[in-house]
């Protein structure tokens, strides 16, 4: 396996790291204390600088104005940008737009690309992805109540979705809705573009997450679709292909997420160390002198390194063998990295004591916001079950033969 990073990539990562440190981290106090709407003009200035530096939209296709980086290179970018919640948004590669761009690029008609993809890659508009429903399990999305029924040349959509991230201020949603309830379970739903100004698209509220209600690009919306009528030409890809298309997004999306989480880990460890060597705990002693703090730092560094190695190897295998060959690793990195992140952020918060609970540092934001990592992109338990199923399959196949060993195996 060759994980060599080219000189060109190294220089780009260095530029991004400098930008994160000098331009974005200093903005975090405003980010933590003001609404998205209040800080948006300042964010736009930073985005303009990123464009001028030629670093805009690193993961997006070149023919639409992005940098067209490979999965491996973007993985490294995602880690650098993940150190601050503003990173991906300011560089034009944030969720859910990044995933929606991939869908539109691969499945959009020329008209859909002109109308939605072009301004989305440029960062002129925002979008959202509306799949999870309030009343049914997101973990089993074939159980879906939202319908899109043909009427004349339109679809009429009815349903209740939530956790439609960034719906507030989005120009359009990609909505997952059942178009054929009689089809096989994985062929029932389709993806449909719904402009958010359409009558019947009702953003009921921005959901409060652990006491904080974010707005704009950082919001999570509850959306009611009631007799929401859009032309059938808004169908994305073939009818009934919703799950297949969602599946295609999965592998690269997983690398983007986990590397962003590793960026958060890096930042949390850095903050932990800075606090440990400066916080006096007894005359002439700082926190870093205590064995238990040293153990947390060592454990965090080792866990991050192991999780990172697994993630980079998975990205490399996806690029070289295709995602079907790497299904086990794609499940593994989801729950391994999400849990490493949770532990590292928790230790950082503990080292900061009372200060860690405040919004005076970024740690509390990571702690409350990123707890969700064990839930979205497939709950950890679902990934563990599917991984164990695959591992156990050959053993189950020879279970009768194994029984002959009477419990003694070599
Ligand atoms: C911050 C955040 C952002 C999100 N953004 C979006 C978005 O932009 N668009 C969108 O459509 N959705 C989004 N979601 C929704 C997300 O995809 C769902 O929350 C997720 O799929 C889990 O579905 P659920 O919440 O309905 O939980 P459920 O499916 O009800 O599951 C609850 C719990 O049950 C357990 N569980 C589930 N299945 C099994 C099983 N088979 N075996 C054992 N245990 C199981 C797990 O512990 C799981 O956490 C977001 C969620 C969060 C928290």
**Residue 324: what pLDDT?**
87
- Phi, psi of 349, deg, nearest 5: -60, -40
For 165-189, the pLDDT digits (tens) are 999 999 999 999 999 999 999 999 9
What is the distance in A from the centroid of ligand 1 to the CA of 376? 5
Domain spanning 7-94: CATH 3.40.1190.10: no
Ligand 1 pocket test target in 127, 375, 377, 380 with most atoms within 8 Å of CB? 375
Measured distance CA(319)–CA(71) in Å, rounded: 7
**Residue 4: what pLDDT?**
85
**Bridge partners for 157 per DSSP:** 148, 228
**Residue 3: what pLDDT?**
77
- Per the CB < 8 A criterion, the answer to whether 83 and 348 are in contact is no
> At what angle are helices 380-397 and 327-352 packed, to 10 degrees?
140
- Phi, psi of 184, deg, nearest 5: -60, 150
Stretches where the chain sits below pLDDT 50 are none
The answer to whether domain 7-94 and domain 127-239 are alike in fold is no
Ligand 1 pocket test target in 97, 126, 137 with most atoms within 8 Å of CB? 137
Measured distance CA(88)–CA(80) in Å, rounded: 9
Tokens of residue 55, six digits: 């670093």
The 10 Å Cβ neighbour count of residue 342 is 18
Residue ranges per structural domain of the chain: 7-94, 127-239, 244-397
Sign for the CA dihedral angle at 356, 360, 362, 366 comes to: positive
- Report, in angstroms and rounded to the nearest whole number, the Rg of the chain calculated over CA atoms: 23
* Nearest C-alpha neighbor of 344 from the set 259, 264, 275: 264
Average model confidence (pLDDT) for the chain? Answer: 96
Give 256: exposed, middle or buried? Use CB within 10 Å, 0-12, 13-18, 19+.
buried
Sign for the CA dihedral angle at 340, 344, 349, 351 comes to: positive
Q: Residue with structure tokens 């440190």?
A: 21
What is the distance in A from the centroid of ligand 1 to the CA of 99? 18
For residue 140, give the ligand 1 atom closest to its CA. Answer: 29
Measured distance CA(82)–CA(372) in Å, rounded: 15
For 214-258, the pLDDT digits (tens) are 999 999 999 999 999 999 999 999 999 999 999 888 888 999 999
CATH code for the domain defined by 244-397: 1.20.140.10
Domain spanning 127-239: CATH 3.30.2350.10: no
**Residue 97: what pLDDT?**
97
What is the distance in A from the centroid of ligand 1 to the CA of 73? 29
For residue 372, give the ligand 1 atom closest to its CA. Answer: 53
What is the distance in A from the centroid of ligand 1 to the CA of 384? 14
């Amino acid at each position: 396996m060759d994980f060599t990073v080219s000189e060109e990539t190294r220089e780009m990562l260095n530029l991004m790291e400098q930008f994160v440190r000098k331009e974005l981290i200093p903005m975090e106090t405003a980010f933590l204390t003001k609404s998205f709407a209040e800080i948006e003009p300042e964010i736009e200035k930073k985005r303009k600088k990123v464009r001028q530096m030629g670093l805009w939209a690193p993961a997006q296709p070149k023919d639409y104005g992005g940098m067209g980086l490979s999965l491996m290179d973007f993985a490294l970018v995602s880690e650098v940008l993940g150190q601050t919640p503003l990173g991906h948004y300011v560089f034009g590669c944030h969720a859910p737009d990044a995933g929606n761009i991939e869908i539109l690029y691969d499945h959009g008609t020329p008209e859909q690309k002109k109308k939605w993809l072009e301004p989305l890659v440029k960062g002129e508009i925002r979008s959202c992805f509306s799949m999870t429903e309030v009343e049914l399990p997101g973990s089993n999305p074939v159980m879906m109540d939202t319908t899109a029924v043909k009427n004349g040349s339109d679809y009429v959509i009815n349903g209740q979705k939530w956790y439609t991230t960034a719906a507030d201020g989005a120009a359009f949603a990609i909505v997952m809705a059942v178009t054929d309830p009689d089809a096989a379970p994985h062929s029932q739903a389709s993806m449909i573009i719904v402009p958010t100004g359409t009558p019947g698209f009702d953003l009921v509220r921005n959901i409060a997450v652990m006491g904080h209600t974010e707005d704009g690009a950082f919001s999570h919306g509850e959306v009611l679709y009631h007799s929401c009528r859009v032309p059938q030409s808004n169908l994305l890809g073939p009818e009934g292909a919703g799950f297949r298309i969602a599946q295609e997004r999965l592998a690269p999306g997983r690398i983007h997420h986990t590397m962003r989480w590793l960026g958060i880990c890096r930042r949390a460890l850095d903050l932990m160390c800075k606090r440990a060597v400066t916080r006096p705990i007894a005359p002439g002693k700082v926190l870093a002198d205590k064995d238990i703090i040293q153990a947390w730092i060592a454990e965090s560094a080792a866990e991050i390194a192991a999780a990172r190695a697994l993630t980079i190897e998975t990205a490399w295998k996806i690029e070289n063998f295709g995602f079907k060959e790497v299904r086990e690793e794609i499940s593994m990195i989801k729950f391994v990295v999400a849990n490493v992140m949770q532990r590292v952020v928790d230790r950082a918060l503990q080292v900061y004591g009372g200060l860690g609970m405040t919004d005076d540092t970024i740690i509390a934001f990571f702690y409350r916001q990123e707890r969700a990592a064990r839930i979205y992109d497939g709950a950890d338990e679902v990934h563990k079950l599917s991984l164990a199923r695959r591992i156990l399959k050959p053993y189950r196949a020879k279970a009768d033969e194994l029984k002959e060993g009477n419990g003694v195996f070599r």
